[in-house]
Amino acid sequence: MAEPRRNPLTALAVRHPATALASALFGCFVLSAWLGAELLGPAMLIRTLTDTESALRALILHWRIPRVLTAFCVGACLGVAGVVFQGVFRNPLTEPGSRNPPKR
C-alpha dist (Å) from residue 70 to 7, 54, 73, 85, 96: 34, 24, 5, 22, 36
Is 94 part of a structural domain of the chain?
Answer: no
Length of the chain: 104
Q: What is the pLDDT of residue 40?
A: 79
Is 59 part of a structural domain of the chain?
Answer: yes
| Contacts of 45 by beta carbon, 8 Å cutoff, 6+ apart | 34, 60
Number of folded domains that form the chain: 1
Q: What is the pLDDT of residue 14?
A: 64
Answering whether pTM is above 0.95, one says no
Domain span holding position 49: 30-89
Tens of pLDDT along the chain (104 residues)?
A: 566 666 666 665 567 778 888 888 899 888 888 887 778 788 888 888 888 888 888 888 898 889 999 999 999 999 999 888 878 877 666 555 555 555 66
Is 2 part of a structural domain of the chain?
Answer: no
Is 23 part of a structural domain of the chain?
Answer: no
Q: What is the pLDDT of residue 19?
A: 84
Is 78 part of a structural domain of the chain?
Answer: yes
Is 72 part of a structural domain of the chain?
Answer: yes
Helices (H) and strands (E) in the chain, counts: 6, 0
